[in-house]
Amino acid sequence: MMFMMAMAIDKVKVIITDRQKKVRIPTGLRMQIRRACIAVLREEQFEGDSEVSVSFVDNEEIRKLNKEFRDIDSATDVLSFPLGENGVYDVNPDTGAKLLGDVVISMERAQEQALEYGHSFEREVCYLTVHSMLHLLGYDHMEPQEKAEMRMKEETVMARIGLERI
């Protein structure tokens, strides 16, 4: 008789907040975002319980955040605010979960880019989530080699959740 051992899945808490009124959030999008976050952590073989915050904002709010934290006075699609560095994270004292950080997505920009790139709004929001999650785990794309590695990881995760490029 053969037994298969299931790999224990660590707890992942994804806190999603809608702080905008300009774009209607489609049914099921929150679940897709949770799946995207979990897929990134699995792909990266992240160990331990974790928490991440995802906020939906409009262009005006993301522009303000971009100005305040990056000194760039324009709207962008997504901002990442990591709470860890070099694999060391703050920990929620109540749960023991590693606090990965905050993902802030401009839903207006995501809608615009979905049209521009010719794919669904859901795919665009999930792609931005995956991109930002990789930033929270320490990835960057300032150098061509880093950019290529990050893009490969993004596409691998997107395929894993069934949202590959068409």
* Segment 142-164, tens digit of pLDDT: 888 999 999 999 999 999 999 98
* pLDDT exceeds 90 at position 2: no
With cut-offs at 50, 70 and 90, classify the pLDDT of residue 166. low
pTM here is 0.92
Model pLDDT for residues 41-52, shown as the tens digit of each residue: 999 999 999 999
What is the reported pLDDT for 165? 75
Q: Which residues contact 52 (CB under 8 A, 6 or more apart)?
A: 12, 13, 14, 15, 37, 100, 101, 102, 103, 133, 136
Q: For the chain, what percentages of helix, strand and coil (3-state, to nearest 5) are there?
A: 45, 20, 35
What is the reported pLDDT for 86? 85
* pLDDT exceeds 80 at position 56: yes
The torsion angles phi and psi of 155, rounded to 5 degrees, stand at: -65, -35
Domains of the chain: 12-160 (3.40.390.30)
Model pLDDT for residues 127-140, shown as the tens digit of each residue: 999 999 999 999 98
Q: How far apart are CA 44 and CA 112, in angstroms?
A: 30
The torsion angles phi and psi of 128, rounded to 5 degrees, stand at: -65, -35
Q: How far apart are CA 80 and CA 131, in angstroms?
A: 9
In DSSP terms, 56 is beta-bridged to 18, 105
